Amino acid sequence: MRTYIAAAAAVVMLMLTSCAIGTDGGQSKSSETFFAMDTYVTVTAYGDNADGAVKAAKDKLTQLEKLWSVTDEGSEIYAINHSGGQPVTVSDNTAELISFALDMSDKTDGALDPTIYPVLTAWGFTTDENRVPDESEIAELLGRVGHEKVSISGNSVSLQSGVMLDVGAVGKGFAGDILTQEMKDSGVTSALLDLGGNIQMIGTKPDGENWRIGLRDPKGDGNIGVLSAADCAVVTSGSYERYFTADDGKVYGHIIDPKTGYPVDNGLLSVTVIASEGRLCDALSTALFVMGLDGAQDYRRQHTEQSFDMILITSGGYIYITEGIKDSFTLDGEHSRMEIKVIE
Number of shown-chain residues binding ligand ADP (CB under 6 A): 20
- List the single partner that 149 binds among Mg ion, ligand ADP, none, CB under 5 to 8 Å by kind: none
Q: C-beta of 343: minimal distance to ligand ADP in Å?
A: 20
Examine residue 194 and tell whether it contacts ligand ADP (CB under 6 A).
Answer: no
CA-closest candidate to residue 285, choices 74, 111, 72: 111
Which residues are within 8 A (CB) of 110 and not within 5 positions of it... i.e. 6 or more apart?
A: 146, 147, 258, 259
Residue 169 vs 213, nearer CB to Mg ion: 169
Which residues are within 8 A (CB) of 301 and not within 5 positions of it... i.e. 6 or more apart?
A: none
Q: How far apart are the first and last CA of the chain?
A: 14
Q: C-beta of 169: minimal distance to ligand ADP in Å?
A: 3
CA-based R_g, the chain, Å: 20
Q: C-beta of 219: minimal distance to ligand ADP in Å?
A: 17
Examine residue 108 and tell whether it contacts Mg ion (CB under 5 A).
Answer: no
Which residues are within 8 A (CB) of 94 and not within 5 positions of it... i.e. 6 or more apart?
A: 67, 68, 76, 77, 155
Q: C-beta of 157: minimal distance to Mg ion in Å?
A: 20
Examine residue 105 and tell whether it contacts Mg ion (CB under 5 A).
Answer: no
**CA distances from residue 125 to 38, 40, 68, 128, 277 in whole angstroms, order as listed:** 13, 19, 18, 5, 28
**What pairs with residue 236 in β-bridges?**
272
Q: Candidates 114, 118, 295, 324: give the one binding ligand ADP (CB under 6 A).
A: 114
Examine residue 277 and tell whether it contacts Mg ion (CB under 5 A).
Answer: no
Q: Which of residues 150-169 bind Mg ion (CB under 5 A)?
A: 169
Write the burial class of residue 145 (CB in 10 Å: 0-12 exposed, 13-18 middle, 19+ buried): buried
Query: Pattern 252-271, binding to ligand ADP, x per CB under 6 A?
Result: --xxx-x-------------
Examine residue 237 and tell whether it contacts ligand ADP (CB under 6 A).
Answer: yes
Phi and psi at residue 176, to the nearest 5° = -60, -40
Q: Which of residues 167-186 bind Mg ion (CB under 5 A)?
A: 169
What are the residue ranges of helices labelled H in 133-277? 135-142, 171-185
Residue 36 vs 56, nearer CB to Mg ion: 36
- List the single partner that 253 binds among ligand ADP, Mg ion, none, CB under 5 to 8 Å by kind: none
Q: C-beta of 43: minimal distance to ligand ADP in Å?
A: 17
- Per residue, what are the HEC states of 251-297? EEECCEECCCCEECCCCEEEEEEEECCHHHHHHHHHHHHHHHHHHHH
Q: C-beta of 40: minimal distance to Mg ion in Å?
A: 17
Q: Which of residues 52-91 bind ligand ADP (CB under 6 A)?
A: none
Q: Candidates 50, 80, 104, 112: give the one binding ligand ADP (CB under 6 A).
A: 112
| List of residues contacting ligand ADP (CB under 6 A) | 112-114, 116, 120, 166, 168-169, 196-197, 237, 241, 254-256, 258, 282, 285-286, 290
